[in-house]
Chains A and B, each alone.
Chain A
């Protein structure tokens, strides 16, 4: 779950930098699904590691 924790930090940083609300390059309206997609994909990627 490190990947999820990392994405939470990313979201926190985005919030602090006010990057989300008025961001033509990084659209705030799509942030939830984009971050979910990245977190999920990273989880699947990291799970392909041996214990």
Chain B
């Protein structure tokens, strides 16, 4: 008997008729489009409307000002929790729904309804937020009603009402979790703010104790939470009190234990939550004390620049990774199955060879920035970390096709033109600290820094990023057995999500990043070679290097 081939995730989501074809209109495509449109509209609305003009108003207008931000926060939490937990409840229904939707055309009357509702919503918004005194409860109600109608019509355009009912009915307890999370969000945010003062006092005391062990004279002004040495002192603001790290750690550890609950022994595994919180709170005090000691040593630019912005993330990532890896190896906390599995090692396609060079760049970048002021003098660390990781996994890469054709450099050139064009359209950027930083270096050190920066841009960054985004993420979104997926395989979801992730990592150049991601994916798909994507990426970066070094456009670095 011949077993039918297993259905991969793209087939489940896109439906059989469109399997493997780009721009199909299966469920995943519809959900991605829906989220994309809603996020875009939300960005426009939140940029355009200022609820501040409604503060102090009577009736519903005042309520919008008072509770609008909280409601929006709760909606974001509600949607993410519902999507995350609801997915596991309805995933068995996605294959038949995907098949149905792939054969059905969208209902255009709902799109017309969405456009009409949003047009009326825009008109009512301009009246409501005009600051005029004639705004009454009826106008606010109409504004809310048109907004809700716009949302509902938008959802129904992409996902038919019958399918929505089916998915909503199958989500079960996910509704309860989402509603509970949304309800407690404003209370948690407000409670967190009330804890700022006591947390600041506690952190102040901890920092004082740590500093006393290293410097003879610690200067403290408790009224302003100012602490330091005669040479360098800082004020511990609410945001530095340690509560942000505590909040993130609380969420991380709770989610970790929930998602991987089968791997742990309860209730003892719950100890991970307070251990993580305590560790991150203490590390925040160590961070502030270190910052003062760095400033006291004469490196105030590093203390207040890179170290200040990076140390918090380094501490959070360190604690989160340590908790995740160590607790899985502890028989007292983990189930026997998990400990045995961890000790036996690799048994499924490992993403390590694809992800580690990119992760090495990210980790080295965090360390490099933390030890820098406005000029990242230790940038060569990124190149060395990536090159070392690439050499470590060289045997794995030997099996890949690194050749490339003429179209790859062409794609790279197109991305370069778009990159520069979009950068110019975006307008002026803040003045780059690079020229001043380079000018302060001796000539030899300047040449070495520029050589490493150029080599990283043209060699290690393209290889590492293409391995991570096109080699791993794009194919992993098509199938969990990603190494069996041809480099020529495409799905709308895989290209969209991998390009979006690639774009978001390029900061305020995210639009250019997304377009670049799509074009590099096109280059890879054409011949099914990762070499084409790498070559296209390398050409883009090489041209940007020339543009920077020749034309002095330092803000592009």
| Nearest A residue (CB) for B310 | A30
Beyond A25-B240, A27-B312, A27-B313, whether A5 also contacts B84 by CB under 8 A is yes
The contact of B74 among A1, A16, A25, A50, by CB within 8 Å, is A16
| B-contact 0/1 string along A7-49, CB 8 Å cutoff | 0111011111111001111110111111011101111110111
Cβ A43 vs Cβ B325 within 8 A: no
CB-CB < 8 A to B352: which residues of A? Answer: 44, 47
Min C-beta distance of B226 to chain A, whole Å: 15
Alpha-carbon distance between A15 and B69 when the two chains are bound, in angstroms = 12
Q: Is the CB of B324 within 8 A of A47?
A: no
A42 and B241 alpha carbons, distance in the complex (Å): 27
Known contacts A2-B260, A12-B76; A36 and B84 CB within 8 A of each other: no
Query: Contact at B320–A19, with CB atoms within 8 Å?
Result: no
Contact flag A26-B255 (CB < 8 Å), given A38-B317, A50-B341 = no
Is B138 at the interface (CB under 8 A from chain A)?
no
- Asked if residues B321 and A41 are in contact (CB atoms below 8 Å), the reply is yes
Report whether over half of chain A's contact residues are helix, strand or loop; otherwise say mixed.
helix
Render B215-256 as a binary contact track against A, CB cut-off 8 A, 1 for contact.
000000000000000000000010111101101100110011
Write out, one digit per residue, whether chain B residues 503-525 have a CB within 8 A of any chain A CB (1) or not (0).
01101000000000000000000
Nearest opposing residue in chain B for A42, CB measure = B324
* A31-B252 Cα distance, complex, nearest whole Å: 14
B338 and A17 form a contact (CB under 8 A) = no
Interface size class of B (residues with CB under 8 A): 35 or more
In the bound complex, CA of A8 to CA of B79 (Å) = 12
Q: How distant is the Cα of A50 from the Cα of B77 in the complex, in angstroms?
A: 33
Contacts of A33 in B (CB 8 A): 362, 365-366, 505
In contact, A27 and B245 (Cβ under 8 angstroms): no
Contact A9 B80 (CB under 8 A): yes
Of the residues A3, A9, A15, A26, contact of B245 by C-beta under 8 Å: A26
Q: Which of A2, A16, A42, A44 contacts B73 (CB 8 A)?
A: A16
Interface residues of B (CB under 8 A from A): 73-74, 76-77, 79-81, 84, 87, 185, 188-189, 192, 237, 239-242, 244-245, 247-248, 251-252, 255-256, 259-260, 284, 287, 308-310, 312-313, 316-317, 320-321, 324-325, 328, 338, 340-342, 344-352, 355-356, 358-359, 362-363, 365-366, 369, 468, 476, 480, 501, 504-505, 507
> What are the nearest 5 A-B pairs in CB distance?
A12-B80, A27-B309, A34-B313, A50-B341, A16-B73
A residues in contact (CB < 8 Å) with B: 1-3, 5-6, 8-10, 12-19, 22-27, 29-34, 36-38, 40-45, 47-51
Sample 25 A-B pairs with CB under 8 A, ordered by A number.
A6-B256, A9-B80, A13-B251, A14-B248, A15-B76, A16-B185, A17-B188, A17-B192, A23-B244, A24-B239, A25-B239, A25-B241, A25-B284, A25-B287, A29-B507, A32-B504, A32-B507, A37-B366, A41-B359, A43-B355, A44-B350, A44-B356, A48-B345, A49-B341, A50-B341
